[in-house]
Amino acid sequence: MNKQERMRLKKKCTLFIVCFFCTACLMAQSFKISGSVIDEKSDPVIGATISIKGTTTGTVADLNGKFSLDVPNENSILVVSYVSYTKQEIKIGSKRVFNIVLKEDQQLLDEVVVVGYGVQKKANLTGAVGAVNSNELNSRIAPSTSSLLQGRMAGLQVTQNSAMPGSENVEMRIRGMGTFSSAGNNPLVLIDGVEGDMNKLNPNMIESISVLKDASSAAIYGSRAANGVILVTTKAGTEGRLNIEYSFNYSMQKPTKPMDRITNSVEYMETINKAIDFSKNINAAWRYTDEEIDRYRRGQDPNDPTYNPAQYPNCDWMDYLIRDAALSQHFLSINGGRGGTTFNVGLGYLNQKGLLLGTDYERYDVQVNFKSSLTNRVTFGTNISMNYGVRHDTSFNDTDLGNMNASRDQMRSAYAASPLMTPQLPDGSGRWSSYAYENKGGNKNPIANAIAGGGQLIDSNYILASTFMNVKIVDGLSAEVKGAVKFAENQYKIMNATWDGAVFLPDANGVFENRPSTSMQSFRQRNNRSKQYTLFSTLNYLKTFDKVHNITAMAGYSQESYNYEQIEGYRTGYTSTDMWYLKPGPTPAQTNDSDVNEWALMSFFGRANYDYDGKYLVEANVRRDGTSRLPRNGRWGTFPSVSAGWRISEEDFMKGLSYMDNLKVRASWGQLGNQNIGNYPYQDMLENDNYNFGGTMTSGYTSKSIVNTNIKWETTTSTNVGLDFGFLGNKLYGSVDWYRKYTTDILRTLQVPNFVGIAGPTVNQGEMENIGWDFSLGHDNKIGDVRYSIRANLDTYKNTLLNYGADEINGVNIRREGLPWNTYYVMVQNGVYQNQAEIDNEGVVRTYAGAVTIKPGDIRYTDISGPDGVPDGVIDATYDRATVSGAFPKFNYGFNINVSYKMFDLSCFFQGVQGRKLYVSSWGISPFNQASAPPVFWRDAWDGEGTSNYIPHIYMDGYGPMQAGYSSFFLRDASYLRMKSIQVGYNVPAIWAKKLFVQNARVYFSGDNLLTFTNFFDGQIDPERTGQGSSDAMYPQAKIFTFGLKVTF
């Protein structure tokens, strides 16, 4: 070995020794730590992230909350975090075992709120924004997602009209009614930034819902936001271990307020005879003879030889029509991600039987959310929502495609069916009953119609898909573009089938005589399809100067287009009910129809925010919209808003108030547009019609209405002043808002005399105002192992019609300037006439009853006015009607209580309406409408002097003094307080869950609509309904009893 080789070998040995000692030193510095992560209930926080600050080194807690991790040195800092928990940083030092307790951070959950085209810290909001999180939504079981918002926040009024499967007819209003135009009052609903149908979305996939109530928060949506905006954010994926969650619930539904009716056959016959006598023999053919009444009396007497309760029943047809109905729901979600890519997939299934016979609904839904960081500056994502539903309903009229009329007629038929018979003959043959005594009222058979009378089949397909890309151009500047499509397709089929009935009572030979149907079977099919395309792009800027000047700005562009097509066919003469298609219908009976419409909208918008050191807040928005629905000279509208806030609690002079955590005043002003009217209001619409030319009818086209090419945007100006507060470590918090919504240039049809013979043009005429208050208050605390939270909200507003034109009377309502819209306009009851002397001595002329002479037992009305404005001794339905409040409630409110103790939790939620009145007459209330059995409160009707001074003598429907008077007797207080939900849950301990090979499990029992406190018609009619009443023949609301299970794998 030469000298050079020896030198190279010596260097290699030296290098090896140095490397060996360096490695040994490094190994001596690094070491392993271990421990567990649990929550305040001592449950393991499975999937919690444990990492070394400033490095990529980290791990996650296992199924037991355990972890182990190699750390470089004792100066390292451990970072422990998990969603909805407060992050902890721990210096390692000489410690090797860590038992870490993470605390839930409710304030963290609530501190960020989704707003138009972005998010904001709740502390920095200057507008009126309400928010609901997923925990609040999932505390109730309801097939309709929108109904879950009921009573959850001040300023949002939600009313569920029925429990019809797949068509609950939920009405949402933000701060009341803002317009009377055909544009309507429905708020704009956006799902992940794109207009969509909230009820097509599974509530398990919702992360949060924000409600933009004032102009400053909603102005960024311009003409779409006049009625407020509801922003729905779906659950995104999260990086970390794969999470699979399955939930199941099984429910049983019952009607909330079944009306108790007079269904004893003998009492029914005697009562209808009494009503016929009082009503001057109206429908005298319906009178029952003494022999017929005695026949049933003896047939129901066990001691009588003719006793046969099957032949002589006391039938309540509602017992056959309304049933207990099962509801089951399944939901599976798969959530995860790594390396900058996340996903969340939700699969839902619902199967709901209807309370009414012949109604049900089945739904499948899919939600896919995907996001990926393509580079450190480019993010790509997509959100896809798909829904398929199948609904069945009954059929009474072949035009009742998909609407509520079929269930209404089903209820009416049950009311009109005689309690003297059952749906099927008593001989056990299974044949349908047609009537008991011929010509005794309507006596329809709704059960036969529901089972053998055909029905409706409604198929619906819905897709909402969006794709976005976000590019970070430079620090603080980013751009985003999003494209979306909403596709909806519905197919309606309705078969009107015939069925044969028989007389319920046998003849002298014991034969049940057949009554075959003479009508023809018919079939109608309607297919419609809509497509809506949306494209928008935004440029966002964020910058902080000198650590105290914070600026954000956003500019954007959007365009939307909508297309709708419909085709319909009708056939009669079907010989079978098995062929639900158009082709089998005979050629001579074919009719067809179609429809198409479209609209487009283009918009430019921007927003700028500035705050100084988190104390002084300013925001400005502007949007410019152009719509195809308005003529060229009025097509574009500009809608600005400004708002400001002052966080007083951040001032130095407030620092000494330890109990004060948050105090902020804010104010806003802005304008919003409304263009959601007909698609072609300024264009001359033609329709096919016939016209007489020289005595010859000639086919051609004619105008449908007078055209006005000078219409412009309807505008709502909104002012809001608010106060937010938080005390005692934010354990007590809330807000107060005052607002004014003032709508001008309301788009409406001009009032024209009937002799014009054509509809008036669309004009900008009318003003409406809402002034109101929103209040919310909350309290969260923990005492030992008990956690609780209480939240309450209340809103009140006054609606005023400021400019309308001539008074317009519509039934029991009047539209008059200075009053709320559709104020009740009725004759005011002043007792019941007790004897003839009262009538004779009153000294007034009564013209409202027509030719009928008033007698004891009739309602006494007040002489309010005459042609000259003072009482004139004449009581009529023209001058003696008074305006009565109650068209709008005095206030709406809701409150919920949540309590948890170790593994148990309880939540209870109430919602109520105070001061609202409903006018309910005709079906279900007015006695013997088509001979329908009257409600039991008519047992307390006047039946002699001194027996009643409120309920008049029972009468036949059509009796003049009750029919023509628009009586305040039917106007009732519909205030109510309802326990919307109560839920008791148990979270399975982790040690048990582990044995079941799951991360965690929860079981619960819940009830919805279990208790209702109301005086509405003595508590026998459900007071929760849209509109202003008119009938009790409505699909009933449902009490829901539920068992549920949720498991995470």
Q: Which CATH number covers residue 91?
A: 2.60.40.4130
625 and 730, same domain (yes or no): yes
| C-alpha torsion sign, points 399, 402, 404, 408 | positive
290 located within any domain: no
3-class DSSP state of 938: helix
1018 in the Ramachandran plot: left (φ > 0), alpha (ψ -120 to 50) or beta? left
135 and 84, same domain (yes or no): no
456 and 470, same domain (yes or no): yes
491 and 594, same domain (yes or no): yes
847 and 971, same domain (yes or no): no
Collect all residues with Cβ–Cβ distance below 8 Å to 886 and sequence separation of at least 6: 824, 915, 916, 917, 971, 973
* CA–CA dist 212, 575 (Å, integer): 55
* CA–CA dist 750, 706 (Å, integer): 10
Residue 25, pLDDT score: 40
CA atoms within 13 A on the CB side of 428: 0
Nearest-Å Rg of the Cα atoms of the chain is 35
4 located within any domain: no
Give the Cα-Cα-Cα angle 331, 336, 337 (nearest 5 degrees): 155
- Largest distance between two CA atoms of the chain: 147
User: Can you point out the beta strands (E) in 445-520?
Assistant: 454-474, 477-496, 501-503, 514-515
Q: Which of 45, 68, 102 is the last residue in one of the domains? A: 102
175 and 189, same domain (yes or no): yes
Q: Which of 57, 86, 102 is the last residue in one of the domains? A: 102
Residue 279 and residue 928 in contact, taking contact as beta carbons nearer than 8 Å: no
272 located within any domain: no
Collect all residues with Cβ–Cβ distance below 8 Å to 1008 and sequence separation of at least 6: 140, 141, 142, 980, 981, 1038, 1039, 1040, 1042
Show the DSSP H helices in 576-701 as ranges: none
**Low-confidence residues of the chain: pLDDT under 70:** 1-29, 41, 56, 63, 83-84, 104-111, 182-183, 402-404, 441-443, 518, 691-693, 704, 754-757, 851, 963-965, 1029-1032
> Domain with 703 in it: what CATH number?
2.40.170.20
Residue 114 and residue 208 in contact, taking contact as beta carbons nearer than 8 Å: yes
* CA–CA dist 658, 853 (Å, integer): 76
809 and 848, same domain (yes or no): no
3-class DSSP state of 505: coil
Residue 1037 and residue 1022 in contact, taking contact as beta carbons nearer than 8 Å: yes
1000: enclosing H helix or E strand: strand 1000-1014
570 located within any domain: yes
Q: Which of 235, 267, 284 is the last residue in one of the domains? A: 235
Residue 27, pLDDT score: 40
Structure tokens at 167: 């068509």
538 located within any domain: yes
Phi, psi of 880 (to 5 degrees): -105, 40
> Domain with 200 in it: what CATH number?
2.170.130.10
397 and 532, same domain (yes or no): yes
200 and 89, same domain (yes or no): no
Query: Which tens digit of pLDDT belongs to each residue from 650-693?
Result: 888 888 787 888 899 999 999 998 877 778 887 777 777 776 66
739 and 649, same domain (yes or no): yes
Residue 815 and residue 803 in contact, taking contact as beta carbons nearer than 8 Å: no
Residue type for position 944: G
Residue type for position 395: S
* CA–CA dist 82, 87 (Å, integer): 7
User: Can you point out the beta strands (E) in 784-890?
Assistant: 786-803, 808-810, 813-815, 823-826, 829-832, 845-846, 859-861, 874-875, 882-884
3-class DSSP state of 290: helix
* CA–CA dist 237, 515 (Å, integer): 64
Residue 622 and residue 638 in contact, taking contact as beta carbons nearer than 8 Å: yes
Residue 466, pLDDT score: 96
Query: What is the pTM (predicted TM-score) of this model?
Result: 0.85
Residue 850, pLDDT score: 72
3-class DSSP state of 89: strand
482 located within any domain: yes
* CA–CA dist 791, 617 (Å, integer): 27
Residue type for position 814: I
845 and 770, same domain (yes or no): no
* CA–CA dist 482, 232 (Å, integer): 16
Residue 329, pLDDT score: 95
668 located within any domain: yes
364 located within any domain: yes
User: Structural domain tally of the chain?
Assistant: 4
Residue 212 and residue 229 in contact, taking contact as beta carbons nearer than 8 Å: yes
Residue 915 and residue 972 in contact, taking contact as beta carbons nearer than 8 Å: no
Note down the domain range covering 849. 831-880
Collect all residues with Cβ–Cβ distance below 8 Å to 197 and sequence separation of at least 6: 189, 462, 464, 488
Residue type for position 45: V
3-class DSSP state of 349: strand
740 and 699, same domain (yes or no): yes
